[in-house]
């Protein structure tokens, strides 16, 4: 069968996994890619520019022209409305079967299945259920019995329980060929080496997923691909695309010391490229930073989130102490690895003093090249959303909006809050962004003398934040930011010269 996955804004790794499984079974798989410049659910949202560079009409036309049998949708909260609109428009001109999967259909299935745009929905891991569905559609029988599948029959919803999780040795190899036309894989190679997480923070979809998988008794939550399989992937991609930089985008680099030891000892010999990881303070209490440095680690993205211990423990469900956070950052600094710090704003119980404390704590680190501010965005069926409902911070109407994916994402201004509070927080957003280029005495002066509230009255706050970001990225030689900016420039020039490609081979 011919299957097309529409993808918006950025490479989607789940699709690369699903594609290789489907191709192995003899299906034709393609990606229809909408760069969605300046509205990419990733970073930039400038609606006026997006209107000029809009590609969605072309994507819809190309999908229709290909006459796929299946339109396969990989859905998360922020792309849900985009996906619904795309399917609606394709279905007007071409009747095909739609199959939806991903974290959004899994975490709020009742919301998703009710749409006319959804023929079949797969909860949880998609590889095997998708294959079985395609087989059953070919035979026109047996679909109703397939585990993980939801569908509508005669006005009723059939909801099949999920099957046990795959063993990590059985994870398919990724198929990156589907992105060759769109993503410069050479400059920035994205991979994940595990599923699940060592934590269950209240605001994260892993919080929902762990409970969901445990509720059905599906198997171990944290699953790490064998080190050899990960190194094999990287070696073969290095040969194929001459990749220069690896981003290991796991939730957290690893949950097992043994896995890490093996990976870090073999990586320099077998792959030997600079790499970037996602870190958690609890991982860096000992000598891990030094080992990472030796192995070629170029950047650690550290999830710190808040410097208020009560908020962290009771609201975010994170157990590390402030001392452990500081020790982790000291260890990274000592090892000489550049790092970025992720900080959440807009949290219940968070005060301005907490944000000042965070700024002061971070301002001494010279290896800090970015402080990323993430606005709290309530996600469907995670603990913090349940807690906010119980405490009356949000109501049932707000929950509907959350489940419909209609909030701002956490890179813009997240879940709704009072305009006055939002304006105040934006002041701190500016200060966090300035951290990596502001010497500690200057930052302390701004904070102690209380000069910074003038930022509150600054016009064009968002434009100022973007300007500072670009400046900081250049001054601190931030590889990721440089890559994104370069990518944007190339894509804009493609638009100017009308050389935009929307569909893979």
Which residues are CB-neighbours of 178 under 8 A, at least 6 positions away? 5, 15, 16, 19, 29, 30, 31, 504
Closest C-alpha among 10, 190, 189 to residue 82 = 10
Closest C-alpha among 414, 407, 278 to residue 344 = 414
Rounded Cα gap, residues 416 and 419, in angstroms = 9
Residue 143: which of ligand B12, ligand SF4, none does it interact with, CB under 5 to 8 A by kind? none
Cβ closest to ligand SF4, residue 148 vs residue 194: 194
Among 78, 213, 354, 469, binds ligand B12 (CB under 6 A): 78
Q: Find where tokens 């208020």 sit.
A: 308
Using the contact rule CB under 6 A, the part of the chain among 10-18, 55-63, 233-241, 336-344 near ligand B12 is: 10-18
3-class DSSP state for residue 162? coil
Q: Which of residues 299-318 bind ligand SF4 (CB under 6 A)?
A: 303
Rounded Cα gap, residues 316 and 177, in angstroms = 38
Q: How far is the CB of 278 from ligand B12 (least distance, A)?
A: 8
Cβ proximity of 150 and 161 under 8 Å: no
Torsion angle (degrees, nearest 10) of CA 409, 411, 416, 417: 170
Residue 104: which of ligand SF4, ligand B12, none does it interact with, CB under 5 to 8 A by kind? ligand B12
Rounded Cα gap, residues 503 and 505, in angstroms = 7
Rounded Cα gap, residues 204 and 100, in angstroms = 21
Q: Which of residues 150-179 bind ligand B12 (CB under 6 A)?
A: none
Among 14, 106, 123, 200, binds ligand SF4 (CB under 6 A): 200
> Does the footprint of ligand B12 cover residue 183 (CB under 6 A)?
no
For residues 252 to 291, the per-residue mask of contacts with ligand B12, x marking binding by CB under 6 A and - elsewhere, is ----------------------------------------
Site size toward ligand SF4, by CB under 6 A:
10
Cβ proximity of 129 and 148 under 8 Å: yes
Cβ closest to ligand B12, residue 229 vs residue 326: 229
Largest CA distance in the chain: 74
Closest C-alpha among 51, 35, 52 to residue 43 = 35
Using the contact rule CB under 6 A, the part of the chain among 11-19, 212-220, 341-349, 351-359 near ligand B12 is: 11-19
Using the contact rule CB under 6 A, the part of the chain among 62-70, 199-207, 410-418, 488-496 near ligand SF4 is: 199-207
Residue 17: which of ligand B12, ligand SF4, none does it interact with, CB under 5 to 8 A by kind? ligand B12
> Does the footprint of ligand B12 cover residue 19 (CB under 6 A)?
no
Tokens of 278: 């996602």
For ligand SF4, the binding residues (CB under 6 A) are 197, 199-201, 204, 206, 251-252, 280, 303
For ligand B12, the binding residues (CB under 6 A) are 8-14, 17-18, 40-42, 72-74, 76-78, 99-104, 107, 122, 125-127, 130, 190, 192, 195, 204-206, 249, 251, 379, 409, 411
């Amino acid at each position: 069968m011919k299957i097309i996955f529409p993808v918006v804004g950025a490479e989607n790794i789940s699709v690369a996994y699903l594609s290789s499984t489907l191709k192995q079974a003899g299906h034709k798989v393609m990606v229809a890619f909408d760069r969605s410049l300046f509205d990419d659910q990733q970073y930039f949202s400038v609606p006026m520019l997006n209107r000029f560079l809009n590609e969605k009409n072309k994507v819809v036309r190309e999908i229709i022209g290909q006459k796929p049998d299946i339109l396969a949708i990989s859905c998360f909260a922020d792309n849900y409305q985009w996906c619904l609109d795309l399917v609606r428009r394709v279905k007007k001109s071409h009747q095909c079967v739609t199959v939806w999967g991903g974290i959004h259909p899994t975490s709020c299935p009742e919301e998703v299945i009710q749409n006319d745009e959804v023929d079949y929905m797969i909860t949880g891991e998609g590889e095997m259920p998708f294959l079985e569905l395609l087989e059953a559609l070919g035979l026109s029988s047996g679909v109703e019995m397939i585990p993980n599948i939801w569908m509508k029959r005669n006005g009723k919803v059939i909801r099949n329980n999920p099957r046990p999780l795959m063993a990590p040795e059985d994870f398919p190899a990724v198929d990156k060929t589907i992105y060759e036309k769109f993503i410069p894989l050479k400059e920035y190679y994205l991979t994940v080496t595990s599923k699940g997480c060592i934590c269950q923070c209240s605001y994260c979809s892993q919080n929902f997923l762990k409970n969901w998988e445990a509720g059905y008794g599906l198997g171990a939550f944290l699953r790490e691909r064998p080190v050899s399989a990960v190194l094999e992937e990287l070696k073969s991609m290095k040969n194929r695309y001459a990749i220069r930089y690896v981003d290991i985008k796991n939730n957290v680099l690893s949950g097992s010391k043994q896995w890490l030891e093996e990976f870090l000892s073999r990586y320099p010999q077998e792959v030997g490229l600079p790499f970037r990881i996602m870190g958690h303070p609890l991982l860096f209490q000992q000598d891990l930073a030094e080992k990472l440095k030796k192995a070629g680690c170029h950047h650690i993205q550290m999830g710190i989130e808040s410097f208020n211990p009560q908020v962290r423990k009771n609201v975010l469900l994170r157990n590390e102490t402030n001392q452990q956070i500081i020790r982790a950052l000291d260890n990274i600094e000592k090892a000489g690895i550049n790092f970025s710090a992720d900080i959440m704003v807009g949290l219940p119980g968070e005060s301005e003093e907490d944000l000042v404390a965070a700024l002061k704590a971070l301002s001494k680190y010279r290896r800090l090249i970015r402080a990323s501010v993430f606005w709290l965005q309530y996600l469907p069926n995670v603990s913090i959303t349940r807690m906010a409902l119980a405490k009356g911070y949000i109501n049932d109407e707000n929950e509907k909006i959350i489940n419909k994916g209609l909030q701002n994402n956490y890179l813009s201004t997240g879940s709704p809050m009072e305009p006055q509070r939002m304006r105040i927080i934006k002041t701190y957003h500016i200060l966090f962004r300035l951290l990596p280029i502001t010497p500690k005495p200057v930052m302390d002066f701004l904070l102690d003398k209380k000069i910074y509230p003038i930022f509150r009255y600054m016009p064009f706050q968002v434009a100022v934040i973007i300007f500072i970001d670009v400046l900081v990225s250049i001054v601190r030689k931030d590889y990721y930011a440089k890559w994104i900016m370069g990518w944007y420039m190339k894509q804009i020039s493609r638009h100017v010269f009308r050389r935009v490609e929307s569909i893979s081979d």
